[in-house]
Amino acid sequence: MQELIEIKDIIVPILVIFFTLTVLLIVRAFLIRFLQKFAKKTESKIDDIIIKATRFPSILWAFAIALYIGIAISPIPEKFGFYINRSIFVFLILSITIVAANLSSKLFREYLNRGVVQMPATGLVNATVKGLILIIGFLFILSGLGISITPLITALGVGGLAVALALQDTLANLFAGIHIIMERSIRVGDFIKLETGEQGYVDDITWRATRIRMLPNNTVIIPNSKLAQSIITNYYLPEKRMSLLIPIGVSYSSDPEHVERVLIEETMKAADEIPGLLKEPKPFVRFIPGFGESSLDFTLICQVAEFVDQYLVQHELRKRIFKRFQQEGIEIPFPHRTVYLREEKDWDKSL
């Protein structure tokens, strides 16, 4: 009889675990299928991100809950049951915290990319969001284990002074990165030029450094503290559109009105065919610098969509202007000098 009781005490919790796990997995499959159908009807990516992030962890959560219920009705000694339940609790909180940290980071980035929050989606922002959630989850675990977090917070406050002194450079880069992000003078995706000459796209702003991808596809890594103290030209502020100035010299025999009309006509025509060249604001010509040593110097001023468009625009526009000048008989002069020789008639008398 005693053996039957012991077998019953073992089999029943196992059956309860399997039954509970089966029910939870069926409910999970139903919910995921329902959410997937709902997600297909919406344009937002948020529901897709949530489903993808919780698909696998939900299986582990179902198993942990089933195990917890089975342990509760099993004849395991209270001491062992206590430690097993605590382990299940730590596992649940830790897994939920990790999923919540990754999910919140992805959701926050999605909100930033959609322009809901006026802040760039950078590595520093994502790391801050993840770090806060992981810290909160860690505090929940300590509290669930019966560990008082008040002395820990006090110790961290005292020890933080020593850590701050030891990590001055790291903290300087961290706060400089936060300052750059909050000021929004440099944003991820902007095309900038440093006072040292490097220029390129801002790839990311992390807790330590800012990564700039140059046009040759090389990456320049600059500590945030140095970047915050540098003189920077941001070609995307206040907007991407910028003026392009092209100097052009013609012969002194050319009619300035004719030259101006030809340049504007050719530029307006090219605006429909050259990517990045804008029709509005309309291009115009200025007789500046003016009278050169060998030519009449004009400046063609037009607008391009963004900084990198100027290279293709100049390439194509110069070719078109050269061909048009040949058709119109407008000469582009070579630099030349007129040398006057003064004859000294009495030089031989002095010999």
pLDDT per position as a tens digit, 34-69:
877 777 777 667 667 777 777 777 777 788 888 878
Task: Answer whether residue 162 is part of any domain.
Answer: no
Rounded to whole angstroms, the Cα distance separating 139 from 147 reads 9
pLDDT in tens, 2-21: 444 456 667 777 777 788 88
183-212 average pLDDT score: 87
> Of 193, 213, 234, which one is at a domain's C-terminal end?
234
Domain co-membership, 59 together with 186: no
Residue 304: pLDDT above 50? yes
> Do residues 122 and 214 share a domain?
no
pLDDT averaged over every residue in the chain? 79
pLDDT > 50? residue 192: yes
Tens digits of per-residue pLDDT, 92-103? 777 777 777 777
Looking up residue 217, the CATH number of its domain turns out to be: 2.30.30.60
pLDDT at 117: 42
Picking from 23-27, 256-260, 298-302, which range would have the lowest pLDDT averaged per residue?
23-27
d(CA 188, CA 123): 10
Higher local confidence (pLDDT), 94 or 247:
247
308 burial via Cβ count (<10 Å: 0-12, 13-18, 19+)? middle
Residues 124 and 253 in one domain: no
Q: What local confidence, expressed as pLDDT, does residue 5 receive? A: 44
Which of 199, 234, 269 is a domain's end point? 234
Instruction: Tell me how far apart the alpha carbons of residues 82 and 84 are, in angstroms, rounded to a whole number.
Output: 6
Whether residues 216 and 85 fall in one domain: no
| 140 pLDDT more than 60 | yes
Same domain? 246 vs 308: yes
Q: Is residue 169 part of a domain?
A: no
In a domain, 347, yes or no: no
Report the pLDDT averaged over residues 139-154.
67
Residues 209 and 252 both lie in one domain: no
The pLDDT of 302-322, averaged and rounded, is 92
Domain-embedded: residue 309: yes
Mean of pLDDT values over 113-139: 63
* pTM of the entire predicted model: 0.58
For residue 38, is it within any domain? Answer: yes
Long-range pairs for 319-327 at CB < 8 Å and ≥24 separation?
Answer: 320/266, 320/269, 320/270, 321/248, 321/262, 321/263, 321/266, 324/262, 324/266, 325/250, 325/262
pLDDT for residue 164: 53
Instruction: Please say if the pLDDT value at position 160 is more than 70.
Output: no
How high is the pLDDT of residue 6? Answer: 59
Is the pLDDT at 116 greater than 50, yes or no? no
Q: Residue 351 pLDDT > 80, yes or no?
A: no
Domain presence at residue 318: yes
* % of the chain exceeding 90 in pLDDT: 22
C-alpha to C-alpha distances, 298 to 59, 131, 258, 290, 330, nearest whole angstrom: 72, 58, 12, 6, 13
CATH number for the domain spanning 281: value is: 3.30.70.100
Domain holding 188, by residue range, is 175-234
Q: Does the structure show a pLDDT above 60 at 158?
A: no
99 & 208 share domain: no
Count of domains for the chain: 3
Cα distances (Å, whole numbers) of residue 183 to 61, 226, 288? 42, 16, 38
What's the average model confidence in pLDDT over 331-336? Answer: 82
